[in-house]
Amino acid sequence: MNTDQDPTAVDRQFFVWLIEANIRAIDQLLTDDFALIDVMRGGEVPKAALLAAMQSGDLKFETIEPADVRLRSYLGTAIVTGRTKMRIRFQESRAEVHSRYTHVYVMIDGQWKLAAGQGTPIAES
């Protein structure tokens, strides 16, 4: 990934890598201090824990369908927001989640890196 790439394209690729469980690519994309705010519990998940859960097979992203993706850019920072429909499996539990998300990307050494992610469930109406 380079500076010519639109952060929304990087974000789409991140979702593909989650479904593929491409640990190497995700590891390279995430900053060392990456933190995810878990859409299911609201807990903070550091990079190492996310990668370990995916590597072990405990966490599996079966489908991710992004929509309403928007980008706000600032010098060296990009904020991508949108909605997702996801089917995920954690250990023996499966869930379908509709959420809004915020991903914060920062430019490091000419590459967009994902520094933070936040997911918030959308209440069924």
- CA 71 from chain centre, in angstroms, equals 15
Residue 125 has a pLDDT of 55
Q: Which domains does the chain have, with CATH numbers?
A: 7-121 (3.10.450.50)
Per DSSP, which regions of the chain are E strands? 30-37, 44-46, 59-74, 77-90, 93-108, 111-121
pLDDT band for position 1 (50/70/90)?
Answer: very low
- Mean per-residue pLDDT of the chain: 93
Residue 41 has a pLDDT of 81
Strand 77-90 relative to strand 111-121: parallel, antiparallel, unpaired?
A: unpaired
Cβ 13 vs Cβ 103: under 8 Å: no
Question: Is the pLDDT confidence value at 24 over 70?
Answer: yes
Q: What's the rounded Cα separation, in Å, for the pair 47 and 45?
A: 7
Residue 57 exposed, middle or buried by CB count within 10 Å (0-12, 13-18, 19+): exposed
Residue 39 has a pLDDT of 79
Q: Token pair of 87, please?
A: 């089917």
For the chain, the distance separating the N- and C-terminal CA atoms, rounded to the nearest angstrom, is: 39
